[in-house]
Chains A and B, each alone.
Chain A
C-alpha cells in the first residue's frame, strides 16, 4: 500500500476531470490517475463544446459548480447560439474549442484545486473486499488504496481502431488501451457490452480551397457558458468555419467501395450511434438524397488541422483519399489523419444506481463513455454527479439525484439507469419531456440552490443567485404596476416601429405577451436599467407563461409518482401475478420510485397497478 486516498478517479477525460475536481473541492483527498498528463481533457473527436441540449448541460454543470463551462469560455474561438430563431426552450450554445488550449487550461484548473493529486499510470484492476472497492491496481502491479473509486475510462477499455479491414488495438490518438480492466470488471460480476463510434478525417489547412465553400461565422453577440465569468473573446476575432456538400461523384465512390468499409465489410461487432452515422451509413439509409452537408472546422489556432464534420467513415485509407478529393474545394486536400471507427468495452448502465454508484460493488462509481454515453458534455455531467455522490456516500449523506423536470442531467442519468442503452447515448432535447423548464437561460435558477445545498456552490455565488432572483421579481413588478400610456409620444413610437396601437391601455406585463412586442420595445417606452440576462429571463417567463405553467403542471403530476418510493428491501418474488418479464426487469433495475418503474420498457400499466396495490397493502399500515 502506497497511499491512502478518499477517492481515486481512473481516467483524465471530461468525466474524470469534473469528478476529480468536485471530489477534491468537497474536501476528499483525491487522486486522478491518467495514462498521459498531456492528454487531460483531450478532445479526440469534434473540436466543439456544446450543441443542442449539450450546451444546456454545460450550463447545468456550471450551475452545480463544475468547470467545463469555465474552461470552454477561456479557450474557444467561435461561439453560436443554436436555434436562436426558435423558442427559448431549445436554444443552446455551441463553441469551437481550441484543442490545444482546452486541455492546458483544464490542467491548470485541476492543478490549482486543493486536495487533488494527478498521477500518470494505467489501472488494470480494482482492489475489492466484501464487494466494496478498496483501491486500484496499476499495470506495474503497484496498489493504491482508497475509500472509493470512480471509473471514467472513456473508450479505452479493450479499444480497437478500425480503418477498412485494418484493426489495431489502441485508444484514440495512438494512446495505449487498457487491456485487462474490462475483463477484471467482468470477473467481478459486471455486464460488459461492446460499442462503436467513429471520427472523420482531418485535413491540412493549406490544402483547402475555401473559396468554393460557404462561410459559417460566430454570432455577433457575446455569450458565456459560465454564470461566473465574463466573455474572454472578441466578437470580430472569432474564427470561421465552412459549409460544403457531398456530390454525385462522392456517392459513387462510396457505393463502389461499400464492402471495403469496416462497418459494411463486417469487421465491426460494436453497435454505433444512429444520430451520428458514418457517411456510408447516411448513403445507404437515405439513398434518394443527392447531397449531404459537411462542415470544415479548425481544430486549433496553434496548428493547421481541420475537422471534416459529417464525413465520419471506416473506409480504407485509399478510398478515403478518393472520397475527400471528390469534394468541391478539397480536390487537392492533404489528409493529415484518416477517419477511423473505434470499438470499445462499456458497462451496461442498468447496473448503476441513480447515484451512479455500482449496484454490485459498493463505493465504486462510473461516469462517461464507460456507461454507454457519447459526447464530452454527457461525460462531464456524469463525472460531476459521480464525484458529488462519492463524497456524499463516504460522508453518509443522501445522494444528489436530479429529477427529469430539474435538469437534462437528471434526464440523462434516469434514462441510463432505467432504460439502459444499446448504442452510445447522446442527449437530445426531445429526450426531455419537460424541456420548456430545462432552458439555457434558467440553468442557474434551477440548480444553483441545489448546488449550494450539496456544498458545491459557495456563499458568494449563492448570494449572486439570490440577487438575480430579486432583480427578476423587481422587473416583473415594474411591468405589472405600470400601464402603457397611450399618449402621442407612445403612439408615434409604435407607429414608427410598425406596431398596431392597442385599443385600450394595459399594463406592460400584459403588453409584453403580445407576439409583436419584445423587451427591446418596452425599454423604449419605460426606463428599465437592468442587466440583459435579467430582462431576457423576465421576457421569457412572461411571454411563455401559459406554456410554462402547463408543463409545470404536468411535471407536478408526474412528481407524485416519483415521490411514491419503492422500499429498498422489496422482494418482487413476493408479488403474485406480476408478468414474468416485468418481474425480471424490476429485479434487475430496482427502480427507486413508482415513477421510475413506469419508464421501464416491458413493465406495463397493469404491472404498475399490481405493484401499487402491493405497496399500499404492505407498507401503508
Chain B
C-alpha cells in the first residue's frame, strides 16, 4: 500500500550511535541490497545482524542492522533499523544512499502517522508519543506518560458526564413533557448548573497552564535600556547552570538564546535583538522589536541600573510591561544607589556575587508556582490544541449563560451545552474530524 520511507530516528550529533529507520514493503529488500553480511531477505524477524553498508563497492560504515517484520512493529509494516556509529556525516551519507535507492525521506511525523493509520496507536496516544520523544526534562516525560495512560481523558470525561446529565434532563423535559419524573430545567435553575460546568472547565484550563509550562517551558525576555547589564545577567544565568540545548539552528521554532532548567522547568531566554553582541557595538533595541519580544514572552525581566536615576525610557518600558508577568531587577546593587523607585516585585542584585541572581530565580519560581508544578500529579491537558478546545468549550458555556439572560428557550440553549460536550469529546477522541488529523500529524517530529 504505502511506499517505503526512511529517516534518522536519533537526534543528530547526540550520542555515539545513530539509528536510521526504514519502514515499508521494500524496507528489507532494499537495505539487503546495500548490506554486506547475511542475506537480510532470509533472516528471521526481530533479529540483529552485523555487517557493512556498501555503496558502489565502497564500504561506508560498519553497522548493526535490526530486522523487524510486520505486523509486530511500530508502524505495523516491515522495519529495518540501521545502527551506525560513524557520526553525523556517515549517518547522513547512509541516508543519502537509501534515498538514491528509491526510498523516500519520511515527512515529519510520518512513522507515527503510519502507526496511527495502521491501527497501532490511537489519536491521543500518537500525540503523547510525539510529546515523549520531544520531552527533555523528567516533568515533561511524566506529563506525556500521563496522557498516554489516559489519566487526562478521565478528567475530561468527568466534566462530560456532568454535562451529559444536564442534557439528558433537558431532553427528558422535551420528549416527555407531561411527566413529572424529572426536574424541569428552567431559565432560573439552569445558570447554577452552567456555572458549575464553567468552573470545572476553568480549573482544567488553569491546570492546563501548568501543562503548557512543563511542555513548553517559560519564555523569558530580558529588557532594559542599553548598558544596564542585560547581557551579563543572561551570561551569568547561563554560565552558572548547565544549558540543556545551545543555539543549534532549527532545534526550536523560536530564536532562543539559551535555556536553563529551574526546578525541572526550562527557562528559555528569547532573543532580544543584540543582547549578546559585544559591548563595543552600540546596543539599540527598536521599539517594535522589543514590543514583539515582550508580547511573545511568558515573563519579562526588566533590568534597571541601581547606579543611575530613572529615565523616561525606563518608564516607557515599565508602562509597556505593566500587564505582563514581570520582575523588575535592579542591577549593580554593589554600586551606590541613585535609583529611586517604589514598586512591587523588585529584586536587587549584581553579577559579581550572584546572590541577587539566586533571588531572581526564587522570584521566578514563586511567580510561576514551580513548587506546585513539582508537586502536581501532572494529570493535566497540555497541548495547545487541547487547551484551545477547552477554551472553546468554555466559550460555549458562556454563550449558554448569555442566552439565558436573553431569555431564549432552554431547548435552544441546549445547543450550546451540547457543543461544549462535543468539543470535549474531540479531546478524548470520541468524534472523528478530518481537520483534526491533518493538524495533528503536521506537528509530529521527524522519525519515530
- Residue numbers of A with Cβ under 8 A of B are 52-53, 82-83, 86-90, 275, 286, 289, 293, 295, 428-430, 433, 436, 515-516, 544, 547, 550-551, 561, 576-579, 598, 604-610, 612-613, 617
CB-contact partner of A82 in B122, B177, B418, B429, under 8 A:
B177
B138 on interface, CB distance cutoff 8 Å: no
Using A577-B76, A577-B117 as known contacts, say yes or no to A87 and B1 having CB atoms under 8 A apart: no
User: Bound complex: CA of A515 vs CA of B116, how far in Å?
Assistant: 49
Q: Which of A90, A515, A544, A551 has the most CB of B within 10 A?
A: A90
CB-contact partner of A86 in B176, B409, B418, B433, under 8 A:
B409
B94 to chain A, nearest CB (A): 29
A residues less than 8 Å from B410 (CB atoms): 86-87
B residues less than 8 Å from A561 (CB atoms): 434
User: Bound complex: CA of A83 vs CA of B181, how far in Å?
Assistant: 16
Verify B408–A286 contact, CB threshold 8 A. no
17 A–B contacts from the bound complex (CB under 8 Å): A52-B175, A86-B173, A86-B177, A86-B411, A87-B409, A89-B412, A275-B175, A289-B181, A293-B180, A515-B406, A515-B407, A551-B415, A561-B434, A604-B122, A605-B123, A605-B431, A606-B116
User: Bound complex: CA of A100 vs CA of B391, how far in Å?
Assistant: 58
B178 on interface, CB distance cutoff 8 Å: yes
Verify A429–B179 contact, CB threshold 8 A. no
Verify A83–B179 contact, CB threshold 8 A. no
Verify A293–B178 contact, CB threshold 8 A. yes
A61 to chain B, nearest CB (A): 20
What is the interface size of chain B, counting residues whose CB is below 8 A from a CB of the partner? Answer: 33
User: Bound complex: CA of A89 vs CA of B170, how far in Å?
Assistant: 13
User: Bound complex: CA of A493 vs CA of B177, how far in Å?
Assistant: 35
Verify A605–B432 contact, CB threshold 8 A. yes
Verify B408–A52 contact, CB threshold 8 A. no
B174 on interface, CB distance cutoff 8 Å: yes
User: Bound complex: CA of A429 vs CA of B177, how far in Å?
Assistant: 12
The 5 A-B pairs with the shortest beta carbon distances in the complex, nearest first, are A87-B409, A430-B171, A515-B407, A605-B432, A577-B118
B residues less than 8 Å from A607 (CB atoms): 119
Nearest chain-B residue to A434 (Cβ)?
B415
Using A89-B411, A579-B119 as known contacts, say yes or no to A429 and B178 having CB atoms under 8 A apart: no
A residues less than 8 Å from B171 (CB atoms): 428-430
Complex interface bits, B166-190 against A, C-beta within 8 A gives 1, otherwise 0: 0000010111111111000000000
Using A87-B411, A551-B415 as known contacts, say yes or no to A576 and B437 having CB atoms under 8 A apart: no
B residues less than 8 Å from A610 (CB atoms): 117-119
User: Bound complex: CA of A113 vs CA of B408, how far in Å?
Assistant: 46
B residues less than 8 Å from A578 (CB atoms): 119
Complex interface bits, B414-445 against A, C-beta within 8 A gives 1, otherwise 0: 01001000000000010111100100000000
Nearest chain-B residue to A430 (Cβ)?
B171
Verify B117–A609 contact, CB threshold 8 A. yes
User: Bound complex: CA of A433 vs CA of B123, how far in Å?
Assistant: 25
Kindly list 16 other residue pairs between chains A and B, CB separation below 8 angstroms, not including A430-B174, A606-B122, A613-B117.
A52-B177, A86-B174, A87-B411, A90-B411, A428-B175, A436-B412, A515-B408, A547-B408, A547-B412, A576-B1, A605-B431, A607-B119, A608-B432, A609-B116, A609-B432, A617-B1
Verify A293–B179 contact, CB threshold 8 A. yes
User: Bound complex: CA of A609 vs CA of B434, how far in Å?
Assistant: 8
User: Bound complex: CA of A53 vs CA of B431, how far in Å?
Assistant: 26
Nearest chain-B residue to A292 (Cβ)?
B181
B434 to chain A, nearest CB (A): 7
User: Bound complex: CA of A608 vs CA of B409, how far in Å?
Assistant: 36
A294 to chain B, nearest CB (A): 11
Using A86-B409, A610-B117 as known contacts, say yes or no to A430 and B432 having CB atoms under 8 A apart: no
Verify A547–B177 contact, CB threshold 8 A. no
CB-contact partner of A90 in B174, B181, B431, B437, under 8 A:
B174
Nearest chain-B residue to A603 (Cβ)?
B432
Verify B434–A612 contact, CB threshold 8 A. yes
CB-contact partner of B175 in A430, A544, A576, under 8 A:
A430
Report B246-292 residues with CB < 8 Å from chain A CB: none
Nearest chain-A residue to B116 (Cβ)?
A606
Nearest chain-B residue to A428 (Cβ)?
B175
User: Bound complex: CA of A551 vs CA of B123, how far in Å?
Assistant: 27
Verify A52–B122 contact, CB threshold 8 A. no
Nearest chain-B residue to A291 (Cβ)?
B180
Q: Which of B119, B173, B431 has the most CB of A within 10 A?
A: B119
Nearest chain-A residue to B1 (Cβ)?
A576
CB-contact partner of A83 in B177, B180, B412, B437, under 8 A:
B177
Nearest chain-B residue to A544 (Cβ)?
B412
User: Bound complex: CA of A88 vs CA of B174, how far in Å?
Assistant: 11
B residues less than 8 Å from A604 (CB atoms): 122
Report B1-59 residues with CB < 8 Å from chain A CB: 1
User: Bound complex: CA of A544 vs CA of B407, how far in Å?
Assistant: 11
Using A577-B119, A606-B119 as known contacts, say yes or no to A83 and B174 having CB atoms under 8 A apart: yes
User: Bound complex: CA of A436 vs CA of B434, how far in Å?
Assistant: 25
Verify A550–B415 contact, CB threshold 8 A. yes
A residues less than 8 Å from B407 (CB atoms): 515-516
A residues less than 8 Å from B431 (CB atoms): 605
User: Bound complex: CA of A515 vs CA of B122, how far in Å?
Assistant: 46
Verify A547–B117 contact, CB threshold 8 A. no
B295 to chain A, nearest CB (A): 32
A79 to chain B, nearest CB (A): 15
Report B48-73 residues with CB < 8 Å from chain A CB: none
B395 to chain A, nearest CB (A): 13
B residues less than 8 Å from A433 (CB atoms): 418
B164 to chain A, nearest CB (A): 11
A residues less than 8 Å from B119 (CB atoms): 577-579, 606-607, 610
Using A52-B174, A430-B171 as known contacts, say yes or no to A605 and B411 having CB atoms under 8 A apart: no
User: Bound complex: CA of A516 vs CA of B407, how far in Å?
Assistant: 9
Report B90-127 residues with CB < 8 Å from chain A CB: 116-119, 122-123
B residues less than 8 Å from A516 (CB atoms): 407
Verify B174–A547 contact, CB threshold 8 A. no
A residues less than 8 Å from B437 (CB atoms): 609
User: Bound complex: CA of A89 vs CA of B181, how far in Å?
Assistant: 22
User: Bound complex: CA of A286 vs CA of B410, how far in Å?
Assistant: 26
A78 to chain B, nearest CB (A): 14
A residues less than 8 Å from B434 (CB atoms): 561, 612
User: Bound complex: CA of A442 vs CA of B290, how far in Å?
Assistant: 58
Verify A87–B123 contact, CB threshold 8 A. no
User: Bound complex: CA of A430 vs CA of B417, how far in Å?
Assistant: 13
A599 to chain B, nearest CB (A): 10
CB-contact partner of A87 in B116, B178, B181, B408, under 8 A:
B408
Q: Which of A289, A547, A607 has the most CB of B within 10 A?
A: A547
User: Bound complex: CA of A426 vs CA of B305, how far in Å?
Assistant: 77
A residues less than 8 Å from B179 (CB atoms): 293
User: Bound complex: CA of A289 vs CA of B180, how far in Å?
Assistant: 11
A562 to chain B, nearest CB (A): 13
Nearest chain-A residue to B176 (Cβ)?
A52
User: Bound complex: CA of A24 vs CA of B117, how far in Å?
Assistant: 50
Verify A547–B415 contact, CB threshold 8 A. yes
B residues less than 8 Å from A613 (CB atoms): 117
A residues less than 8 Å from B412 (CB atoms): 87, 89, 436, 544, 547
A residues less than 8 Å from B177 (CB atoms): 52, 82-83, 86
A586 to chain B, nearest CB (A): 14
A residues less than 8 Å from B409 (CB atoms): 86-88
A372 to chain B, nearest CB (A): 19
A residues less than 8 Å from B117 (CB atoms): 577, 606, 609-610, 613
User: Bound complex: CA of A579 vs CA of B122, how far in Å?
Assistant: 12
Using A515-B406, A515-B408 as known contacts, say yes or no to A429 and B175 having CB atoms under 8 A apart: yes
Verify B411–A576 contact, CB threshold 8 A. no
B residues less than 8 Å from A52 (CB atoms): 174-177
A residues less than 8 Å from B1 (CB atoms): 576, 617
B residues less than 8 Å from A576 (CB atoms): 1, 118
User: Bound complex: CA of A598 vs CA of B429, how far in Å?
Assistant: 13
A residues less than 8 Å from B181 (CB atoms): 286, 289
User: Bound complex: CA of A607 vs CA of B412, how far in Å?
Assistant: 33
User: Bound complex: CA of A82 vs CA of B177, how far in Å?
Assistant: 7
